Structure 1
Amino acid sequence: MNLLGIHHVSALTANAKKNYEFYTNILGMRLVKKTVNQDEPSMYHLFYADEYGSPGTDLTFFEIPRAGHTYPGNQSISTTSLRIKQNDSLTYWKKRFEELHVTHGTIKEYLGRKTLPFQDHEGQRLMLISDEGVEGTAAGTPPTNSPIPPEHAIVGLGPIHLTVAALEPTKEVLTKMMGFNEIYADPQQTLFETSEGGNGAQVVVEERADLKRERPGRGSVHHVAFRVKDEDELSTWKKRIEDAGFPNSGLVDRYYFKSLYFREPNHILFELATDGPGFAADEEEEHLGETLALPPFLEADRSQIEAGLVPLHTKKET
């Protein structure tokens, strides 16, 4: 029973419209689901991914209009990396960021791979990471209706960077309970991977006891989710997590996948999520993300929910 890699990362934004413009028009990702936070339907929940909304490619955002500034620190998911196919694409992206005035760093090597750190308009900490020369978990499919050429497109989530006050408690959960293997360590950080490995199945943990705890706001990450094959395996994971002494949410039906949530010892929220049924459960694949999608248990409240949301036009012109 192995986790199959990263499933999705969910972050916070204060403005759904500006968020949509950045991730589709600048990064060229596809909006595959425009829905609401199922626990708080007054806010949007936007899902950006590859052409098909494949597990392992989803970067999602909860809109909290009054979200304050993020004060970075430990006990956090401090960087989300996004996969591209080849090293040469980083030069393309650096030029694009310069032309569009996107805050970015320099192309550099990170854990043996070429990368380019950057931030969105709200300070979300992101990094492009190249798949060149890296084997393992398969990438997604470049979006077709995108301003980014397919050879340079973002094709999935890469290693997720955690910053914690103490390495060992998180390491114990990742290795002894969740089945990750430690594959690299230096004085600053430790790299773990699961299943087939590679960029789509890795977590980096940095120990920074010198930092204060992060104060999250717009531009911060809420949680990271890991891929589980199906609901039967998710039930088995539930028992494993309970046997290890961790309180958890129990199985939660998110309609597009089934989930379970728990906090590891450094208070970072982990989710386990099934690969299916997927985002085409209630929309045709070619029209994903064009209208407000609601799971069946919220459909009766559609009028009230829509009245409380600022309209967000996401239908692509043909």
Structure 2
Amino acid sequence: MGLQLTGIHHLTAITANAPANLHFYTQVLGLRLVKKTVNQDDTTAYHLFYADGAASPGTDLTFFDWPVGPERRGTHSVARTGLRVSGRASLDWWKARLDAHGVTSGAVTEIDGRAAIDFEDGEGQRFRLLDDGGLAPSHPWERSPVPAEHQIKGLGPIVLSVPALETTQAVLTHVMNMAESRTYPSPDGEGTVHVFSMGEGGPAAELHVAVQPGLPVARQGAGAVHHVAFRTPDAEGLKAWTERLKGFRLPSSGEVERYYFRSLYFREPNGILFEIATDGPGFAVDEPMETLGESLSLPPFLEHKRQQIEARLKPLVEA
């Protein structure tokens, strides 16, 4: 099989309202804030990481806080983010919870053979809660407002929208060693969705590519996804991926030290930003697991600027 990615690592999106974002993802969705830090390339912006109780790779939903207008939806984009739960009973529970909190959501339905609910946050960030069949482990957060049996277990699948499949398909299969396994009609009625699997597959390791030539080109803003990251176990694996991209003459960032993981960035042919990231060392590298996310964390290369960084950040008061 050669070099293999092992699944979705994290997904990074854009918010223009960090306090409301914090409230929604911790108090409504019940995720754990596992890291409160800043965008390492723009230290005036928060970078908030939400995950499961153990801050496991593959569960991180992260946000850059930028003062921007709403996104323009369309193709050349990450169109929807899957969030996995266990069982149809959990989806019924979530439907009632989303309705009680006034969250825009659809009915419980079946998509690609799995029970699912589509919903949006207050800025229009698009999600799909789906039953993962109890396949993946669960690491509940004991202080979550959501009961352990209904908590979100992690990310996947991720849905991309592209106007044409061929060039993206070539990168996913020939460069990234994904396997195309099946297709299904897009639930929005626009085009066909092609499913690509990583490693052992399953919903935590799938990328769903919707071919939608009739849509306008997306423009990023609040409610948009900035990039999607895929898992490689360690630095040795990341080095192998870096060399592999070079071998295909695919432009990339080269390896980037993010402190909590090492990363490699590149764009697939339709312009969507991809990242490959290591599973470790993880979020407990600079603060105890018990108190993750409770204070502002800065990587060592930014620590000497802490005073000026903190002075420029808006208070992160829950809405």
Normalising to structure 1: TM-score of the pair? 0.96
Match of 2:149 among 141, 148, 151: 151
Task: Report SS of the residue matched to 1:62.
Answer: strand
Q: Deviation digits for residues 105-140 of structure 1, max 9, x if unmatched?
A: 11111111000000001000011011126x4xx344
Equivalent pair of 1:164/1:206 in contact (CA under 8 Å) = yes
Aligned to 1:47: 49
Residue aligning to 2:177: 179
Moved >4 Å (runs of 4+): none
Verify the 8 A CA contact 1:4 1:201 in the aligned structure 2: yes
How many matched pairs? 310
1:19 aligns with 2:21: yes
Deviation at 1:85, TM superposition (A): 1.0
Equivalent position SS for 1:286: helix
Residues 10-19 or 124-133, more deviating: 124-133
Contact 1:260 1:272 in 2 (8 A): yes
2:59 aligns with one of 51, 57, 60 = 57
CA RMSD of aligned residues (A): 1.1
Where 1:88 maps in the other structure, the secondary structure is: helix
- Out of 7, 13, 16, the residue aligned to residue 5 of structure 1 is 7
Contact 1:54–1:140 (Cα < 8 Å) also in 2: no
Letter in 2 for 1:13: T
Matched, 1:289 2:289: no
Q: Does 1:31 align with 2:29?
A: no
Q: Deviations over 1:179-220 (max 9, x none)?
A: 111110246110111112111000000111111110111000
CA distance in 1, matches of 2:210, 2:132: 22
User: 1:98 Cα shift?
Assistant: 1.0
5+ residue gaps, structure 2, are 186-191
Give 1:299-310 correspondences, 5 Å limit: 299-310=303-314
Distance in 2, matches of 1:186 and 1:90, equals 21
Counterpart CA distance in 2 for 1:252 and 1:228 is 14
* Pairwise CA distance, 1:46: 0.2
- Deviation at 1:313? 5.0
- Structure 2: how far apart are the matches of 1:143 and 1:202? 25
Q: Secondary structure of the residue that 1:12 maps to in structure 2? A: strand
Identity %: 53
- 1:264: which partner in 2? 268
| Partner Cα separation in structure 1 for residue 160 and residue 137 of structure 2 | 22
* C-alpha deviation, 1:21, in angstroms: 0.1
Task: Tell me which of 167, 170, 178 is aligned to 2:168.
Answer: 170
Asked whether the equivalents of residues 177 and 244 of structure 1 are also in contact (C-alpha less than 8 Å), the reply is: yes
Q: Which amino acid aligns with 1:74?
A: T
Match 1:227 to one of 231, 235, 238: 231
How far apart, in 2, do the equivalents of 1:186 and 1:300 lie? Answer: 51
State the TM-score, normalizing by the size of structure 2: 0.95
Give the deviation of 1:311 after TM superposition: 1.7
Q: Given the alignment, which residue of 302, 312, 317 partners 1:298? A: 302
Question: Does the CA contact (< 8 Å) of 1:139 and 1:200 recur in 2?
Answer: no
Closer, same or farther: CA 83–24 of 1 in aligned 2, 3 Å: same
Return the alpha-carbon distance in structure 1 between the equivalents of residues 60 and 166 of structure 2.
29
Is the CA contact (8 Å cut-off) linking 1:34 and 1:290 kept in structure 2?
Answer: yes
Corresponding position of 1:80? 81
Q: Residues of 2 paired with 1:150 and 1:142: CA distance? A: 5
* Contact 2:112-2:184 at 8 Å conserved across structures: no
Residues 30 and 151, structure 2, Cα contact 8 Å, conserved in 1: yes
Mark the CA change 1:68 to 1:313 in structure 2 (over 3 Å): closer, same or farther: closer
Q: SS in structure 1 opposite 2:88?
A: coil
The one-letter code matched in structure 1 to 2:110 is E
